Structure 1
Amino acid sequence: MTQRSHYFLQIQDLAHARGSQPELSYDGAGPGDFAAALQDALSTPSLFQRWRAMQPDPDQVDERLGVTDPSAKVSAKLVDLHTEVNVITDLPMSIVRQRLNWLIGMSWQLHDVRPA
């Protein structure tokens, strides 16, 4: 059984944080929109399926990259001049990183991970 983790992230400039592929990139207006987008990306296969469809041979994509956690919880809030994001999930960091990078590129930093 996978242990749930609590990831503490920070985004310096959410207003300009975008992924490299517009079809996958976050396009919301604030922390609440971002939290909803990331929660959807972690808990449903929709973002993965869009990415997979963009690949040269979608049938060759490893299905394990599309793993989801329907009980993932994401919250985000503006603090000073940055956005703090809390993610609680049983997904490994490699999957959380993948989804963050699709949504906002390298515009985020992991500050801590603790058991949830």
Structure 2
Amino acid sequence: MTSRSHYYLQIKDLKHARGLELALSYDGAGPNDFAAALQEALRSPLLFQRWRAMQPDPEDVDERLGVTDQLASVSAKLVDLHTEVDVISSLPMSIIRQRLNWLIGANWQLHDVRPA
């Protein structure tokens, strides 16, 4: 059985947090929209497939970068002036980082990781 981890993240300014590539970037309005977008990016290969199609030689992209977790769950809430995000997934941090960067660039910070 694959172990699951609970990732605790923070986004200082979700309203302006966007990825560098407009075609992949998050375009929602609040914590719930972001949680849904990230959960979809972790559960479904669609965001990876869009990114892969943008590469100079899509066939050379390692398929393992498109791994998903059908049971991934994401919740987000506004706390003071920032957004707290909880992710529970069996995906490694490298994949979660990849999806976060596509969606909101470097506008997030990992605070803790614990077994789920």
Shorter-chain TM-score bucket reads over 0.9
Deviation at 1:2, TM superposition (A): 2.5
- Distance, in Å, in 2 between the alignment partners of 1:70 and 1:26 is 20
Q: Is residue 114 from structure 1 mapped to residue 111 from structure 2 by the alignment?
A: no
Q: Which residue of 1 aligns with 2:61?
A: 61
DSSP 3-state at the match of 1:76: strand
- Distance, in Å, in 1 between the alignment partners of 2:3 and 2:70 is 15
- Distance, in Å, in 1 between the alignment partners of 2:2 and 2:55 is 29
Aligned ranges for residues 63-78 of structure 1 at < 5 Å? Answer: 63-78=63-78
Deviation at 1:83, TM superposition (A): 0.1
Deviation at 1:20, TM superposition (A): 0.2
- Distance, in Å, in 1 between the alignment partners of 2:33 and 2:98 is 19
TM-score scaled to structure 2, two decimals? 0.99
Aligned ranges for residues 1-116 of structure 1 at < 5 Å? Answer: 1-116=1-116
Deviation at 1:5, TM superposition (A): 0.2
4+ residue runs over 6 A deviation: none
DSSP 3-state at the match of 2:95: helix
- Distance, in Å, in 2 between the alignment partners of 1:19 and 1:65 is 18
Deviation at 1:36, TM superposition (A): 0.2
Unaligned runs of 5+ in 2: none
**1:14-33 residue CA offsets vs partner (Å, 9 max, x unmatched):** 00000000000000000000
Deviation at 1:115, TM superposition (A): 0.2
Unaligned runs of 5+ in 1: none
DSSP 3-state at the match of 1:47: helix
DSSP 3-state at the match of 1:74: strand
**1:20-78 residue CA offsets vs partner (Å, 9 max, x unmatched):** 00000000000000000000000000000000000001011000000000000000000
Q: How many residues align?
A: 116
